[in-house]
Amino acid sequence: MTTGTNGAGPAHRWRPGDHVLWRYRAHHPTGVGVPVVGDPAAGPPAAGGRAAGAFHICRPVTVVEDTPERLVVWLAPGTECVKPELLDGTPIHSEPLVTRYTKPRAAVRTSWSGAGVLKLACPDEPWSVWLFWDRHWRFKNWYVNLEEPRRRWAGGVDSEDHFLDIVVYPDRRWEWRDEDEFAQAQQAGLLDAEQAARVHAAGRAAVRLISRWGRPFCEEWTGWRPEPEWSIPELPADWDRQGGARRTPQPRPAS
């Protein structure tokens, strides 16, 4: 595995098989902390919790393709990741919507359950496109995750989820997903009216792309498969480090 310590300049490209981190920052306009639990390496949270916008999702992924036009990565089944849950241990989606964004949360380590996910992202585009299969590699659907254009650093990419999503089926039907969460996030003050308008505009642009069946929908990604020799990327102890920080290169497994 390499991610290089030579900076995150635009010329730095990852090679297929490299391990990088795909992360999302939390929305915490009030500065409510996201302490890490279950991670002895992280130590106790700072007084008052972490600063607003701490990372709350971290997915170690394998690079499939990295060009100036697009980054493609694979999230393998069983990968140790970080996800948010409520401090009392309630999974986010089990919490009633009205309190889902107001109760205190923690970022917890968890194993990625279910089949793997292929993620494609073009620089500056305010979404990434994910492909889902079942455990028998039967393609299920694409998922357009509306998000902040990813900020690239030496060890991966960072973004912020925008709540609203679009599911796209093989027969080209599509539908909005999580409109209720998008509305509730605005209620809770996690998005203001201007941000919400930008997210809606991004969603409409994605729908135009879907309607004309542009990339990546028209491509052959549904038949893609991971290289059998790829190992599952590890979640580093300092998974939440700031992107500018240098990262210790890990030995690349012999293949």
Q: Kindly state whether residue 161 participates in binding Mg ion, applying the rule CB under 5 A.
A: yes
Distances (CA, A) of 86 to 25, 80, 148, 179, 192: 16, 19, 24, 21, 23
Q: Rank residues 205 and 232 by Cβ distance to Mg ion and give the closer one.
A: 205
Q: Rank residues 37 and 167 by Cβ distance to Mg ion and give the closer one.
A: 167
CB of 73 to Mg ion, least distance (A): 16
Q: Rank residues 36 and 206 by Cβ distance to Mg ion and give the closer one.
A: 206
Residues 6+ apart with CB under 8 A from 11: none
**Going by DSSP bridges, is the β-strand pair 117-121/105-111 parallel, antiparallel, or unpaired?**
unpaired
CA end-to-end distance (rounded Å), the chain: 11
CB of 202 to Mg ion, least distance (A): 12
Quote the CA–CA distance of 255 and 247 in Å, as a whole number: 23
Query: What's the token pair of residue 162?
Result: 């925008």
Burial class (CB in 10 A: 0-12, 13-18, 19+), 9: exposed
- Binding region for Mg ion (CB under 5 A) out of 25-33, 161-169, 223-231, 237-245: 161-169
Q: Rank residues 39 and 95 by Cβ distance to Mg ion and give the closer one.
A: 95
CB of 149 to Mg ion, least distance (A): 14
Q: Rank residues 129 and 154 by Cβ distance to Mg ion and give the closer one.
A: 129
Q: Kindly state whether residue 160 participates in binding Mg ion, applying the rule CB under 5 A.
A: no
Q: Kindly state whether residue 165 participates in binding Mg ion, applying the rule CB under 5 A.
A: yes
CB of 145 to Mg ion, least distance (A): 4
Q: Rank residues 18 and 158 by Cβ distance to Mg ion and give the closer one.
A: 158
How many residues bind Mg ion, per CB under 5 A?
Answer: 3
CB of 122 to Mg ion, least distance (A): 17
Segment holding 118, helix H or strand E? strand 117-121
CB of 87 to Mg ion, least distance (A): 22
Query: What's the token pair of residue 235?
Result: 């979640």
b/e per residue 93-107 (b: at least 16 CB within 10 A): eebeeeebbeeebbb
CB of 137 to Mg ion, least distance (A): 24
Q: 3-state DSSP call for residue 193? A: helix
Per CB under 5 A, the list member of 3, 62, 128, 145 interacting with Mg ion is: 145
- Binding region for Mg ion (CB under 5 A) out of 57-65, 75-83, 160-168, 211-219: 160-168
Q: Kindly state whether residue 181 participates in binding Mg ion, applying the rule CB under 5 A.
A: no
Q: Kindly state whether residue 159 participates in binding Mg ion, applying the rule CB under 5 A.
A: no
Quote the CA–CA distance of 125 and 173 in Å, as a whole number: 22
- Dihedral angle at the C-alpha atoms of 30, 36, 41, 44, nearest 10 degrees? 60
- Binding region for Mg ion (CB under 5 A) out of 11-19, 139-147, 179-187, 213-221: 139-147
Q: Report the interface residues with Mg ion, using CB under 5 A.
A: 145, 161, 165
